[in-house]
């Protein structure tokens, strides 16, 4: 398990726009990764909107926010982002 500040291993996942994104695409930028089990569930929706509400604070600290849905439906990530205004990048695990 990674700890805060640990380098994450590279991975590639489809984005909400159906483009393959790699962790390496973000270069040396600070990145806040959060994982959630499924789009459109109450807890996950709250988590995603909380991160979106704080996105400007993270940006001021030089960090980008990326959410990863673990339910494997990147098309659902896109709809989820549109419906709930989650401005942060959403990736879906295959």
Domain 31-92: homologous superfamily in CATH? Glutaredoxin (3.40.30.10)
| Distances 43 to 12, 53, 55, 77 between C-alpha atoms, Å | 25, 15, 18, 15
Active site residues: 44
What is residue 60's predicted lDDT score, i.e. its pLDDT? 96
Each residue's pLDDT, cut to its tens digit, for the chain (94 residues) gives 888 888 888 888 777 667 788 888 888 888 888 887 777 677 777 788 888 888 889 999 999 888 887 776 655 666 666 676 664 566 665 5
Domain residue limits, the chain: 31-92
What pLDDT score does 57 carry? 94
pLDDT for position 61: 94
């Amino acid at each position: 398990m990674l700890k805060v500040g640990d380098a994450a291993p590279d991975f590639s996942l489809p984005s909400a726009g159906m483009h393959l994104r790699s962790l390496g695409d973000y270069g040396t930028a600070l990145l806040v990764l959060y994982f959630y089990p499924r789009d459109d569930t109450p807890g996950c929706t709250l988590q995603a909107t909380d991160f979106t509400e704080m996105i400007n604070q993270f940006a001021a600290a030089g960090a980008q926010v990326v959410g990863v849905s673990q339910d494997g439906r990147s098309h659902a990530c896109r709809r989820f982002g549109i419906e709930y205004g989650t401005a942060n990048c959403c990736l879906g695990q295959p």
